[in-house]
Structure formats: structure tokens, C-alpha cells
């Protein structure tokens, strides 16, 4: 018996992106924690500006994603956002997840760049995390779709730099998916989320051209 077909939509990130993302988060956090300006940051800024100028001339001219049959070649590749977005995009949190049918569990540690209140995770980052983790769960199970509502209830502040546990339980009907998630530190619930999504139709997804499509 075969398992569910994982839901994917988009091309894989380049290996360099998965190295760059966590490094950017870490270095940005170190820069935020400095007592005073540092020459190392000046050098980094100069290197980043130089890289920006070079890369700007190499990326596609059209910033729109390349989707659909006959999509213009001058558009950028669309990366798969079904799971692990934080692995390649430093603006998103990274996490570990294990999916077992309608239930998923995992851990997440939020670095300094996601600070809101002193020493605590910004509430908007927690909402983003829940949306990403729930979508990951749905896609691994093989029934996914667009989020229609996301309700986050904050109980206790979530600390930075500490491994936090999460769990997700989902119910899927013919048209709707309801996921209920919890983030905790030990036995203490920090926040919960209820996420509603529509059941998507894979056949209606646009074609995603591979990299290097002429």
C-alpha cells in the first residue's frame, strides 16, 4: 500500500539559498545584539551591496513568478511554498515537523530577529509560523488548499532562543480543512491556533515550468 501523494507546487530552492537563509537570520540577530557599530558589519554591508549589484543583473527582469503554459521566460522561477519555507527564506521561521496522518508534532526555536516584546517572539511571527506548519501538514497528508481564516489565541509570551514544542490536529471534509494547533513550553500552553482552509483541486493548479525554461 502506498502512502498519500505529497502536495507540491513550485520548484525546489537552490542549495545556496538553504545555506544563506539560516546564516542571514543568525548574522542579523548578532548585529541587533551589538552594543556599538562594528567594522565587521561595515564590511558585510559593502559585500552585500556588491552582491546585490551583481545579482540584480542576473535575475529575470520581470519580478512576477513564471507560472502556466507558455509563461514568459523573462519571469522568475516560483519556489515551492508547500513546506519548509524558512529553510530557504530568512523572513520565515524554520522548524522541525513529523507528520502521522491527521496529527503532526514538532519543535521550533525563534531567533532574535523575530523579537517583539523584550525577549519574546512577535505575535505576527507566531501567526506566520502556524500558517506555515499547518500548510506543511496538509501538503504532506496530500489534501491542501488556500488558508481562509487563521485565529491565534495568545496565552503566555513565547520566549526567544528556546526549543518550543507544537502539535497539530486536522479534520478534512469534502470542501474544508480545519486544523487546531498548540505551541507549548513544557506543559505550559503559550498559544493556540485554529486554521481553516479550502480543499484544493490539484488539476486546477497552473503548470510550473522548471528552471532554465526558455
pLDDT in tens, the chain (214 residues): 455 688 999 999 999 999 999 999 999 999 999 999 999 999 999 999 999 999 999 999 899 999 999 889 889 999 999 999 999 999 999 999 999 999 999 999 999 999 999 999 999 999 999 999 999 999 999 999 999 999 999 999 999 999 999 999 999 999 999 999 999 999 999 999 999 999 999 888 999 999 876 5
Q: Supply the pLDDT for residue 213.
A: 63
Q: Supply the pLDDT for residue 1.
A: 40
Q: What does each C-alpha distance from 11 to 18, 54, 211, 213 come to in angstroms?
A: 14, 23, 7, 12
Q: What's the farthest any 2 CA atoms get from each other in the chain?
A: 60
pTM for the model: 0.93
Cβ atoms of residues 183 and 191 within 8 Å: yes
Name beta bridge partners: 95.
108
Q: Structural domain of residue 113, as residue ranges?
A: 15-204
Q: Supply the pLDDT for residue 128.
A: 97
Q: Which three cell numbers stand for residue 181?
A: 494547533
| Residue 5 is assigned to a structural domain of this protein | no
Q: Supply the pLDDT for residue 2.
A: 54
Number of domains the chain contains:
1
Q: Supply the pLDDT for residue 4.
A: 66
| Domain CATH for 123 | 3.10.129.10
Q: Supply the pLDDT for residue 11.
A: 96
Q: Supply the pLDDT for residue 3.
A: 57
Amino acid at each position: 500500500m502506498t502512502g498519500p501523494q505529497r502536495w507540491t507546487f513550485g520548484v525546489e530552492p537552490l542549495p545556496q539559498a538553504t545555506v544563506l537563509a539560516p546564516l542571514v537570520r543568525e548574522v542579523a540577530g548578532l548585529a541587533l545584539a551589538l552594543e556599538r557599530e562594528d567594522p565587521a558589519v561595515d564590511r558585510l554591508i559593502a559585500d552585500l551591496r556588491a552582491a546585490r549589484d551583481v545579482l540584480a543583473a542576473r535575475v529575470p527582469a520581470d519580478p512576477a513568478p513564471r507560472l502556466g503554459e507558455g509563461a514568459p521566460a523573462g519571469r522568475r522561477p516560483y519556489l515551492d511554498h508547500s513546506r519548509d519555507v524558512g529553510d530557504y527564506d530568512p523572513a520565515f521561521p524554520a522548524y522541525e515537523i513529523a507528520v502521522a496522518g491527521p496529527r503532526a508534532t514538532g519543535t521550533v526555536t525563534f531567533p532574535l530577529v523575530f523579537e517583539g516584546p523584550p525577549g519574546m517572539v512577535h505575535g505576527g511571527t507566531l501567526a506566520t509560523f502556524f500558517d506555515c506548519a499547518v500548510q506543511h501538514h496538509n501538503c504532506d497528508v496530500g489534501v491542501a488548499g488556500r488558508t481562509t481564516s487563521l485565529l491565534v489565541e495568545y496565552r503566555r509570551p513565547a520566549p526567544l532562543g528556546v526549543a518550543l514544542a507544537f502539535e497539530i490536529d486536522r479534520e478534512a471534509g469534502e470542501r474544508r480543512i480545519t486544523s487546531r494547533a498548540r505551541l507549548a513550553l513544557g506543559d505550559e500552553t503559550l498559544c493556540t491556533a485554529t486554521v481553516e482552509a479550502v480543499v484544493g483541486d490539484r488539476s486546477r493548479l497552473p503548470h510550473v515550468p522548471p528552471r532554465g525554461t526558455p
